[in-house]
A and B are shown apart, each in its own frame.
Chain A
Amino acid sequence: MRTSLLLVALAAALSACAGGGGGGAGGVVDGVEKTTTDHAEIAVPRAADALEARKVKAFGQWQSCMALSWRYEVFASMTAAEGDPAAQLEAVRAALVDDGWTDDTQVDGHVTLTREDTTVDVEPSPARGPGIWVVRVQSACADYDGDDKDRVENDEARPIEALTS
């Protein structure tokens, strides 16, 4: 019986990784990119305003979810005004909740919000330098096949000029 359970799980994993999962149809990749970018074009400026940030850099790129599936990410970094990080996080949270995002924060030092299948995570990143904050806007992980898979696997980072200042 237990063997059967393992094999069921295995078969599911196999079918997942052999392609033909959540994505695959033509236009799916474009749609996910557009939806995520549209959400980023709202969330990133709101976060930047809340942080009184400058030097915003943003780009979009497909990335893998542990090499099993794929998601589109808009990644932005910015230099925030000096301040108390906890208060700044709160300001970001308030701004995005006002904008219709649902707060799903589970970790101190981050603000995580969701809207439909898109997640935005905001955190200070002193590892990148004093005052640097990063915003990640991500679609849900999904499998793709055929040309879509080639595209997401070999995607190059592209700057998003509308978000760069």
Chain B
Amino acid sequence: MTTIAVPAWLPREPELKVTEASGAVLTDVRAAATAVSDVAEWARANGAPADFSGDAAEAADHAVTRFAADTDAVSAALERGALAIDEFLTAMRQRRSEREQLMERRQGLNDDRDDLLRRIETATEAQVPALQAQAAQLRARFDDYHHDLTSWRDRVDADEQKAVRALAAVDQLAEGVAAAADPSRADTTALAAELRRLGTDTDAVNAWWNGLSQAERNALLISDPDLVGNTNGIPTGDRDEANTSAVQRDIEYLLAKQASGQDLSASEQRWLENAQSIEKAVAQAGSVKYADLGVDAFVMAYQPHAFGGDGIAAVAYGDPDTADHTAVYVPGIMQDGTQIDENGDQALNLYEETVNSMLGEDPPRHGSVSTIAWIGYDSPNFDPESTMPWDLVDSAGDVSHTVTEANAQAGGVALSQFVDGLNSTHTGGDQPHLTVIGHSYGSTTSSYAAAGGMDADSLVLIGSPGASEGVHHASDLHMPAGQVFVGAADNDPVSWLGGEHGLFPGSWDDSVGLGADPAQHDFGATVFAVDNGQEFHGPGGLVEVGFMQNHTNYFDDGNPALASMADVVSGNSGAVVDTGGRTQAAHDYLYDWAGSEVRHHVVDPVVQTYEDVRDGAVQTYEDVRDGVGDAVRGAQDAWDDAWDSVWPPRWP
């Protein structure tokens, strides 16, 4: 009997238990390390001075000093532990990749084995020698696979042992004390000082950061997460790690304080709202609504105490350091760090529409996308929880910034630096295609940034109250030719505020306001179609429809504005149709609305009353009714004539 030895079918190797989600452990350890580091720092600052002598030598053993030394030892131990975990997670990421390759090999080998078995089933005696040779070759390939699989398992074991040893080396206080005194321990004070010195030179920051050892980066992430997480030029993944640790540290601290029965002060409550909003913004990428997109969230800025507690926050959906197309969305009035989750929803919707737009092309276009909600400036806002007179005054003072450009000007500088950071951290050099989208007062901020030389490829201004002082034409925004886009709904009252000239051209009021209306035909931007929204009447309508709906619907599904923004973001701006823009001044929209209000509230009711009388009281007297009808129509015409004479078509 002839024998052909076919190797045994290869089973699937179980997946590693350490996944990307295991990174949460590192975040936990870093958050704990940061908290201990903060305590150690406080204790050092409040312990007995090192140069005490004589009776004061007793102070060397001062309880606070000892406490400072102990907490520093714990901090050093956690720092070592976090580094060990970080290195382990990095190694496991590599091992998972290697396992995937091994499993692909396994699949190929099993397929070849099945193929050989099928051919053996139907083989003739003459074919046996050739099949035996092929079986031998296959056995050799199987042996190689088993060898590589064993090596891979050994590497996994070695990684685990290394991590366990590193953690065991700092699980005693004495070991922590030794770690704290280790001369090779990263000098985070010097590192932080250097990072601050590099400041806004984002290329220098990026080069410096990438030149640090993993241990130095790890130490700085623990000692100064607020600095690392908010410095433009630090890679997005590291900013995210730093900020996520800081958010977790803050939430744990504030919730623990609440749980202990202490009331949070107003500023602490605001601090908690900032932190929880970031947490929600990250979570919603994995929410039931958006989980199918499979997009990762990155916390790119978190400063809960900025701007008197309004806070700074930025969250990216999709990694901007590797994206082919990146968009930065800049919200406007009434937005602050406590609303980053709600603004993140706009960014996620834009993300989905952009990817859909690309995949909907014929043929489908593939590419990675990142959309970022950025609240990095002091948007004028009103605290709706204001109840006390001084709070109301404070809030009103904040909102009054809407009528000046100071916040937009400062915000423009911050936005431009943020964009510089995105260009510095992209793995392919500058961002391949970066779009900035400003909404409402955020459009004025974005215009300031652009006019000042922001390094973006496309600019979109929606619902704009003005394109900032000194900008008279799209060319003043220094974007590449044809890359300024504008959307303005006719019934969006905020878009009625733009205009370089006041109602009395050449007089004092020219300087008031937020600059030119970018939707004007002669501004020179591509003005895309938008959903103009509903007409509305009365102060209630101005609020409930004008501001609530017509000013906030640009990111809604089915609004042409969203589709056009997606085309711009994906680099398909040639598909954006220019409507030609407005041919009447922005403030004339307001004038027309005011006129229509007079008609709606004064003229129409009078006519309606006459018609009711006509149709009701004299219903049975047709001749009379017709006569009255003629009279009413005559009266209405007279009203219209009179109206035209008292209400000119434009501002007087």
Contact surface of A with B, Cβ cutoff 8 Å: 1-3, 5-7, 9-10, 12-19, 21-22, 57, 59, 61, 63-69, 75, 77, 85, 104-110, 112, 119, 121, 123-129, 132, 136, 140-143, 157, 159
Contact = CB atoms under 8 A, between A and B. Distances in A.
28 contacts: A2-B509, A3-B403, A10-B399, A13-B402, A13-B543, A13-B547, A14-B396, A17-B334, A21-B544, A22-B540, A22-B543, A59-B289, A66-B342, A66-B343, A66-B551, A67-B335, A67-B339, A68-B547, A85-B360, A106-B560, A112-B557, A125-B356, A126-B355, A126-B356, A127-B355, A129-B292, A140-B549, A142-B548
A24 B559 CA distance: 28
Given A1-B509, A15-B543, A157-B289, A109 B356 contact: yes
A10 B289 CA distance: 34
A141 B333 CA distance: 17
Contact of B548 (A63, A68, A107): A68
Interface string B532-546: 000000011011101
A67 B342 contact: yes
Interface stretch (B71-79, B85-93, B496-504, B640-648): B496-504
Contact of A66 (B287, B539, B546, B552): B552
Contacts of B549: 65, 69, 140-141
Contacts of B412: none
B393 interface: no
B587 interface: yes
B342 A64 contact: yes
Given A63-B345, A66-B555, 20 more contacts: A6-B402, A6-B403, A6-B513, A9-B497, A10-B403, A12-B543, A13-B333, A13-B399, A13-B402, A14-B396, A14-B399, A67-B335, A67-B343, A68-B552, A106-B558, A112-B558, A125-B352, A126-B355, A128-B292, A140-B549
A18 B383 CA distance: 8
Interface in B268-299: 287-289, 292-293
B448 interface: no
Q: Determine which residue in B382, B494, B504 has the highest number of CB atoms from chain A within 10 A of its CB, and name it.
A: B382
A18 B531 CA distance: 26
A8 B293 CA distance: 42
Interface in B307-352: 331, 333-335, 339, 342-343, 345-346, 351-352
A16 B493 contact: no
B590 interface: yes
A17 B382 contact: yes
Contacts of B503: 1-2
B156 to A, nearest CB: 32
A21 B356 contact: no
Contacts of B512: 2-3, 6
A125 B562 CA distance: 15
Given A13-B334, A16-B544, A127 B509 contact: no
B558 A143 contact: no
Interface in B468-498: 493-494, 496-497
Contacts of A68: 334, 547-548, 551-552
